[in-house]
Amino acid sequence: MSNLTIGFSGILIMLVLMGLRVPIALALGGVSIIGLALIRGPQAAFSIFSELPMEFGANWTLTAIPMFLLMGSLAFHSGLTSSLFDAARLWLSRLPGGLAVATNFASAGFAAASGSSLATCAAMGRLGIPEMLKRGYSPALACGSVAAAGTLGALIPPSIIFVIYGWYSQTSIGKLLVAGIIPGLLTAVAYAALIIAICMIWPHMGPRLNERPSWRARFAILLEIWPVPILVLGVVGTIYGGIATATEAAAIGAAMTALIAAFRGRLNMHTITRSVQETLISTAAIFFVSIGALLFTRFLAFAGIANFLTGYIADLGLDPVTIVLAVGLLYLVLGCFLDSLGVLMLTLPVILPVFKAAGVDPIWAGVIVVKFLEIGLITPPLGMNVFVVKGVVGNAVSLPTIFKGALWFLLAEVVVMTLLIFFPGFITYLPSLIDG
């Protein structure tokens, strides 16, 4: 059996294992070790397996992951982001579907403090959905808008997905984080426009509120959300200004969050304990999957899969846009069955050599990849954000109803993706202003 045959057989077996709900890390690592043993021998496979985890864990760049996770956990458990929804509601509730629009922009603000799509979705679901349902909103729109807006956590910096992509692809993490700003804001605006359009056509889905908050109340609530722009400036501003690397900015963000929480009298032992526990659990899960993906990468390299695919793509003579669209189709299919981190770590060993051979800008490609991962978070049958929302609402709203509401937002994603693919300046402009 040739090495290529072993490689492609390993890919097929791994997909079958994932279809059987074997944990992604075990599927990646198990297939890789057996494949390496067949290609290089058991001793070489064991040597690689014993060395790679240490090499991965000792990588300084990856300390940004637990720091961003700690920043998000501290912000949530200390209540730093609890006023975001109230502020958005007071300013935007008079719009058609105003509460859904408010939840959407509050999610963008929370994403800037958490870096996690699932955390954004869960937090805004607890705040926004009960309020919308109480005001007579369509359950599909109320839940679907939260599921869709939660995806902003994967794009608006800080983003854990960008950190992993940047480390794996040897791309500047700082530039990737900055590159996500305009696409993230563009997505939030597109979601808001879609909500307004839906509620103008079908007013019963998002009735206007009769209350008219005073300007005094509107400006007063802004004084309660001052930590969020401070945190954004501390993280993104230091990267953009060349003051700190992405890893250093992550530590700055975590430290600033703790100091702000302490200043407001909301930093106690319970908050610290819960935040550290969540950070440790999430970091371990991410690292476990990443180590499996590294083993898989080594397996594909020895099998010659990467060279085979890059040569094949080069012979086809496809342009970068066509290649990215093909990869996007692959992501949409895989996103129906796997979580975003699993899809990312499964595909990077295959798509990165293809991107490099085709001369695709790694910054532009990284944002496009994350956008496709975003879309996978709301597509059936395994849209992770939809299941998070279902966990928040319990039996009050059915799963098909939540998926129905979330799928509306694919219309906005079509518009956003078209702009990002055919007008790459939306992605590359801000990173081009950063030296290095």
Least confident window among 6-10, 73-77, 131-135, 339-343: 339-343
Please name the residues in contact with 425: beta carbons below 8 A apart, sequence gap of 6 or more: none
Give yes or no for residue 333 having a pLDDT over 90.
Answer: no
Q: Residue 379 corresponds to which tokens in the numbers above? A: 């597509």
Phi-psi region of 208 (alpha: psi -120 to 50; beta: other; left: phi over 0): beta
Instruction: Mean pLDDT check: name the lowest of 223-232, 275-284, 399-408.
Output: 223-232
pLDDT digits (tens, 9 = 90+) for 391-424: 878 888 888 899 999 999 999 999 999 999 989 9
Local confidence band at 435 (pLDDT 50, 70, 90 cut-offs): low
CA distances from 206 to 93, 106, 127 (A): 10, 17, 17
Residue with tokens 């209350």: 211
For 162-194, the three-class secondary structure string (H helix, E strand, C coil) is: HHHHHHHHCCCHHHHHHHCHHHHHHHHHHHHHH
pTM over 0.95: no
The token pair at 162 is 């960008």
Q: Measured on CA atoms in the order 167, 169, 175, 179, is the torsion positive or negative?
A: negative
CA distance 409 to 406: 6
User: What is the pLDDT at residue 314?
Assistant: 61
Q: How many CB atoms lie within 10 A of CB 26?
A: 14
Residues near 304 by Cβ (< 8 Å), separated by ≥ 6? 3, 4, 7
The pLDDT of residue 196 is above 90: yes
Mean pLDDT of the chain: 83
Let me know the angle formed at the C-alpha of 211 by 205 and 215, rounded to the nearest 5 degrees: 125
pLDDT for residue 153 is more than 70: yes
**Residues whose CB falls within 8 Å of the CB of residue 349, separated by 6 or more in sequence, listed in order:** 293, 296, 297, 300, 306
* 325 phi/psi in degrees, rounded to 5: -65, -40
**H or E segment at 61?**
none
Shortest CA distance to 148 belongs to which of 100, 183, 180?
A: 100
Query: Six-digit token pair at 89?
Result: 């509601």
Euclidean distance between CA atoms 328 and 307, whole angstroms: 21
**What token pair was written down for 357?**
């051979």
- Give per-residue pLDDT as tens, 162-185: 888 998 888 888 899 899 999 999
Average of per-residue pLDDT across 64-81: 79
Determine the residue type at 209: L
Question: 381 preceded by cis ω (within 30°)?
Answer: yes
* CA pseudo-torsion sign 378, 382, 385, 390: positive
Predicted confidence (pLDDT) per residue in 95-109, tens digit: 888 888 888 888 888
Residue 436 has pLDDT above 60, yes or no: no
Here the tokens at position 260 are 């702000």
Structural tokens at position 193? 């426009």
Alpha-carbon distance of 117 to 423, in angstroms, equals 25
CA-based nearest residue to 256, from 75, 85, 82: 75
| Exposed / middle / buried, residue 149 (Cβ in 10 Å: 0-12, 13-18, 19+) | buried
* Residue-level pLDDT at 90: 79
